Structure 1
Amino acid sequence: MSDAQLLSDLLRADRLLVAPGVYDGLSAAVAARAGVEAAYVSGAAVSASEGLPDIGLTTVTEIARAIAVARRHLTGVPIIADGDTGFGDETNTFRTVQTYETAGAAAVQLEDQVFPKRCGHLDDKALVEADEFCLKIEAATAARSTALIVARTDAVAVEGIDAALRRARRYAEAGADVIFVEAPQTIEQIADIPAAVNVPVIFNVVPGGKSPDVSREQLEEFGYAGAILPAATVGAAFAAMTAAMADITGGRLSSGPAVAPRVLFEAVGLDAWLGRRASGEPAHA
């Protein structure tokens, strides 16, 4: 079974699929050790890890590299990958989907903002026309081999919830396998979205963002197929690093629980690599 088929099956199961965000090898290794069923390579997290804000500055190759690095650790775990706006027009979108699939993505998420985009939970977003985005969806479905195409609309903040739902239905009709309505502003809006389209719908969990807090049980009750958690690892890393630097600049030589080098390296495959070296097996096998 392909990762895309596994992801499709998980999204159609009678429970919520949760896909924590990963953005590099360490976060992917931690996710794999935790036993996640799916993972989400977040453009915002990759941007932050490159020392950049999520305003359309990262490139298709940078995110594709993050997908490939995560793929090494997440064997048998489908990866949903953030394709932003497709990084251009429909021809760029075609190439983005092919590039992401080659890197190991089981699904490619595309959004209907103008380029350069910005984080869906920032202000002052702008949208392309629905017709233009439908062309990108058609290009994406033509380019993919097995990957699912996730269509995201940011219309709630720009045109309102009714327009967002109209766009969502159009995108499903254009061939999107999964719908993602970004940043609904009330619990009532969150509840109404899944019933508005006839394909699986995912929800974006962004603590401190534009949407109100919602529980796993509520999302299941509303009919969501899945939830992505883009900041699950990068947010935790940022908070921990901020606390560590405050301790160190405050006079301490360490912060938080001690992590021995072996413990850290075991998380990213130390024993397997040493085993290959001892046996003479090629490192790339």
Structure 2
Amino acid sequence: MNHPKLFRSAIAEKKTMSLMGVFDVFSASVATQHHDGLFVSGFGFAAAHYGLPDIGFIAWPDIVAFVQRLRLAFPCHHLLVDIEDGHIDPETACEVSQQLEAAGASGVILEDSKRLRRFGYVEGKTILPLDDYLEMLNLILESRSDLFVVARTGATAEEEILVRTKAFADTGADAILVDGLRSKEQICEVREAIGDKLLLFNQIAGGKSPRLSLRELTQLGVDVAIYGTSCLFAAQSAMEEALTELKHADGRLPECSSESIGITECLALLKKNVRRQHPTDVPDL
């Protein structure tokens, strides 16, 4: 199955495609009930796998292993992967992207952040010199087979954003992503600057960008919307609520209702993964 080709075909439809950020296989199990596309964000992965902020702790073999596991569980879903700054150098960036393509990733996002890294929506983020980033981006493009590649900038000054996005558009990158666009007007400016390149937009709760519907994004010319942290933040919120309620109830579990999740509902979700991976031998759970 050519996952990059299928991904490009799906994006070619007129509506903005949505990719739901997942942080482990369980969150992906829930997300695939509602979305055809998944996004592995550095923020969610660092939080779930290390309990740390996304500032450079991720070891690239861990990302590759996670994507291998996701692809085994979800063989038909689109899968876009954040490879951050390429994990330090151009050679490593090429190795990571090649291994991810071999593992079944649809595409990768390479950003121009500079070590020590900061999360894209945090103030004080520094970025690589443009020539250094373009060297790494072009090496990935030359080494890929058919992998979908997104060029991403964390630039904040309007002039610098336009300089970088125009330079990205002149490469063989498939799409462009700008962190933290603050208005519809900025989205339109970037859309015009990159010509016929595809445009991605990152939706982050509490971030700097406006909250926009998929219909609004389609009208603005956005091709793909990624929701990198929606599952992670929802999980944190639900766990806080459940554990606070349990504490106040002196440890007594609440009554199960038709709207709550219990052992039956959880097993029903997990059993779907067994069917996908072992369709001829589904145990009685």
Give the TM-score normalised by structure 1.
0.90
**How far, CA to CA, are the matches of 2:112 and 2:90 in structure 1?**
12
The answer to whether the 8 A contact 2:90-2:139 is kept is yes
The answer to whether the 8 A contact 1:87-1:115 is kept is no
**How far, CA to CA, are the matches of 1:277 and 1:21 in structure 2?**
28
Counterpart AA for 1:62: D
2:281 pairs, out of 262, 266, 276, with 276
Q: Give the CA deviation at 1:277.
A: 6.2
Q: Give the CA deviation at 1:47.
A: 0.8
Counterpart AA for 2:243: M
Q: Give the CA deviation at 1:205.
A: 0.3
**How far, CA to CA, are the matches of 2:62 and 2:84 in structure 1?**
12
**How far, CA to CA, are the matches of 2:158 and 2:217 in structure 1?**
18
Aligned runs of 1:191-202 on 2, under 5 Å?
Answer: 191-198=188-195, 199-202=197-200
The answer to whether the 8 A contact 2:165-2:190 is kept is no
**How far, CA to CA, are the matches of 1:140 and 1:165 in structure 2?**
22
Match of 1:81 in 2: 81
- Whether 1:147 and 2:147 are equivalent positions in the alignment is yes
Match of 2:269 in 1: 267
Match of 1:91 in 2: 91
* % identical equivalent positions: 27
Q: Give the CA deviation at 1:194.
A: 1.5
- Whether 1:174 and 2:171 are equivalent positions in the alignment is yes
Instruction: Specify every segment of 5 or more residues in structure 1 that has no aligned partner in the other structure, as ranges.
Output: 280-285
Counterpart AA for 2:92: N
Match of 2:239 in 1: 241
The more displaced of 256-265 and 43-52 is 256-265
The answer to whether the 8 A contact 1:179-1:200 is kept is yes
Match of 2:16 in 1: 16
C-alpha distance after superposition, 1:193-247 (max 9, x if no partner): 2221031001000110121222222211110101000012111111111111212
Secondary structure of residue in 2 paired with 1:8: helix
Match of 1:42 in 2: 41
Q: Using a 3 Å threshold, how does the CA distance of structure 1 residues 278 and 28 change in structure 2: closer, same or farther?
A: closer
Give the TM-score normalised by structure 2.
0.90
**How far, CA to CA, are the matches of 2:31 and 2:141 in structure 1?**
29
The more displaced of 76-85 and 66-75 is 66-75
**How far, CA to CA, are the matches of 1:16 and 1:170 in structure 2?**
24
**How far, CA to CA, are the matches of 2:69 and 2:235 in structure 1?**
18
Q: CA RMSD in A?
A: 2.0
The more displaced of 245-254 and 76-85 is 245-254
The answer to whether the 8 A contact 1:112-1:153 is kept is yes
The answer to whether the 8 A contact 1:137-1:151 is kept is yes
